[in-house]
Structure 1
Amino acid sequence: MNSRFAFLFSSLVIFLITATTASGGSNETDYQALLQLKLMITHDPHEALSSWNTSSHFCNWSGVSCGKRHRRVTALRLYSQELEGSLSPYVGNLSFLHFFSIANKSLQGMIPPELGRLSRLRILNLGHNKFNGVIPTNLSGCSNIEELRLYYNNLVGSIPEEISFLPKLTLFAVGFNYLAGGIPPVLGNITSMEVFSIAYNPLGGSIPDTLGQWKSLIEFGVGLCNLSGVIPHSIFNLSLLTHFSVAENQLTGTLPSLLGAMLPHLEYLQIWGNQLNGPLPPSISNCSKLQLVEVNNNNFRGKLTINFAVQKDLVFLDLGDNMYGSGQADDMKFIDSLKNCSKLDTLDVRRCKLKGVLPTSIGNLSDQLSCLDLGGNYLYGHLPSGIGIVGLTTLYLRKNRFTGKIPSTIGKLQKLQLPYLYENQFSGPIPDAIGNLSLLTRLDLSSNRLEWHIPSSLGNCSHLLELYLEENKLSGRIPKELLQISSLTIALDLSQNNLSGSLPTEVGDLNMLTSLDLSNNNLSGNIPNSIGGCTSLVFLSLKGNLFQGMVPSSRGVSTLDLSHNKLSGQIPQFLRRFSFEYVKLSFNDFEGEVPIQGVFANASAFSVLGNSRLCGGLPELGLPKCKETHDKHKKRFPLFVIFILIASTLFTISCFTYVWCKKRKGQLSLSSKDERFMKVSYGQLLKATNGFSEDNLIGEGGFSSVYKGVLGDHVDRIVAVKLIHLQNRGAHKSFIAECEAWRSIRHRNLLKIITSCSSVDFQGNDFKALVYEFMPNGSLHDWLHSTASVSKLNLLQRIKTLIDVASALDYLHNHCLPTIVHCDVKPSNILLDDDMVAHVGDFGLARFIGTNSNQNSTSGIRGTIGYAPPEYGVGSEITSSGDVYSFGILLLEVMTGKRPTDNIFNEGLSLHEFADMVMPDHVTDVIDDDLLNFLQEDAIATQYTSAHAKKIEECLSSTVKIGVSCSMESPLQRMNIENVVHELQHILDKLQNM
């Protein structure tokens, strides 16, 4: 019996040894592999591997699991241990391993190719490390792998096509790396795929249609991968999808109308940051499991008709930065359907061109709602008093057209931290109840019509970091409670109101404030010395008030503006000692010597204009020399010597003038010299225009009328006489501006001025006129829109005209000192001569940039509706990019034949958007019919080939693209006018060489 037992036992041992050997070596191999793995770990802060020693069997080591039968390593769990070092290639000897996770945030080096030996491996997680290099192609040897996680590393190269050899792969996550080379279409062969997550890689390319073969797919994440093209329709047939994210790519096209029916299990929809267009499908209402919807920053348009009533789990809804809206008062009606979304935390419909009133149902939204953003739309009417959603922390209503009072119920929003109500038309007082919002960190009520006083209750907002009340009609005194909010550290802006009284001494309590702007009010009295306690101030502006007396020390300020007050005394010593970037003291009553130390050593860093009693300083200031203190002891300069000096100076100037004129005589023709210095009287212009008769009237503007005339003293001298309507407010200023501009500019594409006349008429009234060279082909506006004109401009003429205008602007912006901004670029101000060369005229609104004058202010400047850039409407300074915007609109008008004020642009659609939405493939949809007729006739007459037609379409598209680029809302995104000239010239060359 014993012998039989012994035989069985020995047979079993032999079997086990044989099986172990056949299965990939002994457990000694695993032991040595683990030791090698530990050897390459250079730092183990939590001593996760401290048990890895000979005192116990390796199957008992921390993070190691072994099979019970053969005692081989089957799992390594070393995540979140912050191990540093690299991964040993000996890990490839753990042939029984089926689970390996070493997500640590700190491992670096290459991923060992030896991992490809682990044929039993099912889970591999190397995420959250610093691995670099490429994904090893021989990972395809892990034929049983189900989950491959390599996200959050520094991997480069491409996604290996060999990954498609993994038939059991259900999860592939390589997001947050530096992979390129696109998504291999062959991956569509992995029909077992359930989770595909590759976001945040610069992959490029498009989404392969083959991925639609993943019928088991649940999560699809390809956001921020630089993908382009359309989303393949096959993807929308993956009916099991719960997470769909293609955010922040350059995807185009539309969403299928049956999206909600095709993806009924959808929970996360992230398609923001693309160029998708068309309507947002109402069928999304069918996705009852939706929790997150991010479709913002696309080109979706049309009325929002989605019914959110069944999405009871909806938490985050961002529809912003699109072009929705029907132009009707019920654009916001979809709000009604959100009342059942009891988990809703964020509702964002910013910048969507939505119109109408805000429905009272806004008050029925979930108490869980913390962020509500309705900013940048066209909402009007009163703000519903029932907006008191108690959970709100952020309320954005900025840049709408709300009117009426701010409801006192806003004081019930106890959790509110960031209310942005600026750039509306709110009126009435700031409600005292706003002081109940003790958690406010930033309050912005600027650019409204608020009046009455600043409530002292604001002093209760003990967490306030920023307060903006500028550009309102607030009056009364600055409450001292406001200046005692110790948390105010970023900005306090009360500028452009009607505040009066003295500046409270409590201003010194704002010792942590960075920016203080009290400019353009009616504050008076002395500037309190306590302001020196504001030791953190970087920006301080008190300009445009009635402050008087001496200037107290303000240590630490880098930009100081005290201009347009009644300050007196000498320029304070502290201004020359401390470090300033800019100091403005102009238009006060300072006296004495201007220092030349500190900020006063740089003429461009300070301004002292309008202080008539100052002397000395830098020579560039042109101030008189300061008198010596002992003048009475100085020897008088003989009077006859002064006389001799003056006489000799005059003689020298006369000689120089004579020689210069003599020299110029040989260079200028008689006619041109006559034009330059021609003098005309009121009577001559009256006669030339046949008494300014209507028969001679060729144009009218806001400040003037233009008449055709023939000057009697110059036979056949046809001119255009611009009669200034001095009775109109601003007309005189316009005349001065135009004269000032014409004094120093000459360019072939600028209208040629002959002379001006400033006199009185026969009734003794002031008379002012400008005389220009007559342009026989009228204005560009006439050629584009006049019904009386039979002829229209062909494509070459339009491109040449645009080049002429752009060249003129390039000259004004980049070749004039100082820079000149036209401020009124539009077709009626573009005139065409005999040869159809375009000339820019009407400089009545022109501004000089870079001077010390206030001419770059937008005060009173509006330009022309439709052509004036949007930033001028909110008070931004005049810049050359404003002309670029106007030129962009003009270009689009030339190419589309539509004015920016056409009726079709009254529904929330602009000329810019009208052109942008067809780019780049459907540009002919918006091209002027007259131009298309010309092109069609040319094609028939010259027998154009399809290649010719394609080139013409490319030229049309390139031209419209320039107009779109020039008319971007943001000045920073607009093209440089020099580049515009270059690009248009390139298009012209291409057309002429066809």
Structure 2
Amino acid sequence: MSILLTDDNRLVGTLPPNIGLTLPNLQFLAMSRNKFSGPIPVSLSNSSQLEKLLLYRNNFVGQVPNLGNLLHLRWLAFHANNLGNNSSKDLDFLDSLGNCPKLEILYFSENHFGGSLPNSIGNLSMQLTQLDVAGNQISGILPAALENLTNLTFLSMTQNLLTGSIPTYFGEFQNLEGLSLDGNRFLGLIPSSIGNLTRLVTLNLSQNKLEGSIPSSFGNFKSLQELDISENSLIGAIPINILSSQLLVLNLSQNSLTGTLPVEVGNSRNIYRLDVSKNNFSGEIPRTLANCLSLEYLYLQGNSFQGNLPPSLASLKGLQYLDLSQNNLSGMIPNDLQELSVLLYLNLSFNNLAGEVPTEGIFRDASRVSVAGNKELCGGVPDLQLQPCDIKVEKKRGKSHAFKIAIIISSGIFSLTIISCCLVLYRRRKSEKKLTSTHSKSDPLSKVSYRELYQLTGGFSQNNLIGSGGFGSVYRGILPHEERMVAVKILKLQQKGASKSFMAECNVLRNIRHRNLVKILTCCSSVDYSGNEFKAIIYEYMPNGSLEKWLHPDIDNGNLSRNLNLLQRLNAAIDVASALHYLHDHCETPIVHCDLKPSNVLLDDDMIAHVSDFGLARLLSPTNHLSHHQTSTTGIKGSVGYAAPEYGMGGEASTQGDVYSYGIFVLEMFTGKKPTDENFEDSFNLHNFVKIALPEKLVQIVSPKLLTRREVDEIAASTKEDNYKYNDHDNDIEEEEEEEKEEEKSYVGEESQMNPNVQKCLLSVLQIGLACSLEPPKERMNMEDVTRQLHRIKNAFLGFGFSR
């Protein structure tokens, strides 16, 4: 036996002490994400052919045995266990690993290792690219021998007890893309040599005791996307040259930084999180922030910013959290802030703001707005408990001035009365000509009748049928009087009387708005011509259809063969992740989709992906109400292949279940294989198909449509061309081959090497798909992290991070 995979189960107990003696030819041993306990068997050193040893996320205890006989070992991961006992000998196993010349990845984070890093760490393989020791009790200063590991691409020492200065030799790690030293006790200045790491994508030095200014050499970063140096004792101004276009996250909070927020912040047009709170910044809030159209989180509180609130902040349509509290801001609150439709939290407290508080948009909900400590504010919704905005007429202007004002007011009231009367007459006449479906916009939800839906879909004609699924069938039609194409979903009712509050719940769903959710226009609750209960939802029409038809066109049924390139698929993954993040984390009541799959993802004219059918599992439940603060759902819990495994064992629907479906969705998009593929049976599924193949057989599992000459020319601008036909490498790896036309031959070399930029992008995305589709729900990623990681991957692919 050369491969033994038992990961992602609920296995308990200890490993057999003689496992290495009975399985001497093992090459790949994966037992991660179980509940194994006891020590790691010493006999594993006898399995001398081992290349991958994955024991992470279990309950192993004791010391790590001598593994120096594993000369072929490339990947060793035993993080997230209970190994070590905070003693000085916990890290002695590093001495033996110096005998493993092929070691590339070493993870032993989240254990109980104590003591200092030994000098023998410098004897580790020169091929080592990833080292993670985070979340232990490792203390002392970093050894000088660490500088030998010059091929590292990722180094994490987060949340330990390390002291001393950050070594200057880190500047020699020219391949480093991720450096995390946060949560330690590092002292002194940030070495300027860090600026030599031009490939760095993520840098986290937060929660230390660092002093001095931010090095100007940070302007040398060409790929940096996330910079976090918060919670230190840094001083001075923000170097202008760190505000680059590839930056996604900048956290400088809780330092002693001074000066202004540079107008050059507008250069960071892709940034989505900016936190400079609790410093000593002053001056006005720069209007150039309006250029940062991707901003979702903006934290400027606890400084000395002055002047008016820039109305241009209202152009940040994606803003979700805005905190400007505890500054010296003055003037009125711009009414335009009411237009920020996805804003979830607004804090303007303890400034010097004056005038009337708006009452629309987020200002309608006092629980999400704070304006305390602004003595001159008035009005707003009653729950804000502000003084009324009275009309005051100065006495010194005399009676004549008051008389003029009275005349103006009286004239205005008279004019408004006349206009109102005209509008009433106009609407009354207009309503007499309209069908019952065209109610005034002031109605909470305009209803349509069964008769109208029957007519606009041609009697629910097969010619107008555009899709069907677990929730029902979808027809297209044109709404009367609006000349607008819509999609009508006729719901399959789980039982008679399902969701008696259907219309009220539809209204709640209709008010859930996000750019990546299909917009609900109206609903219908009636009976059909046979007297059966009838419920339907009318959606905005998506002209480019479902993602399913793009991924798997049915040519026999007249669907044209069409393709999505790599960037379009990556954009779709981001769009869907953003929608789920919003449903899970930013709705008043978290909404579980329960049936995420490509056929429920629709594409508009601009190929932007929109998730449909959100909230329907709950809507069709006979006992569920959207007003309840719960996420459980009865009834429909997904489709075969996409449903989370816990659902098959009676588990309640959850956001983690959606994450699993999303992971399968991502793997399907980039491999081109459905989870219901006939080759997948028993425990061998799409997840394991990808997992076993990565990273060596990436070329063999990705969709051939992503490897065509045309697509790579368009997206990656590669320079080398060759012909390649997929070969069978393994019984577990099934290729889709000989379906491409001659002009679309795979754009890889004779040694199965695709363009490095494309390869890194695909590998990163597939790893996210795997992390989302893990069997244990608690081990899966959350959608906020997924969205953030995908944005990083996209920016890197476009030239901001991955080297070409």
TM-score range, shorter chain: 0.3 to 0.5
Q: TM-score if structure 1 supplies the norm length? A: 0.39
TM-score by length of 2: 0.48
Q: Which has the larger radius of gyration?
A: 1
Q: Which structure has more RCO (C-alpha within 8 Å, separation ≥ 6)?
A: 2
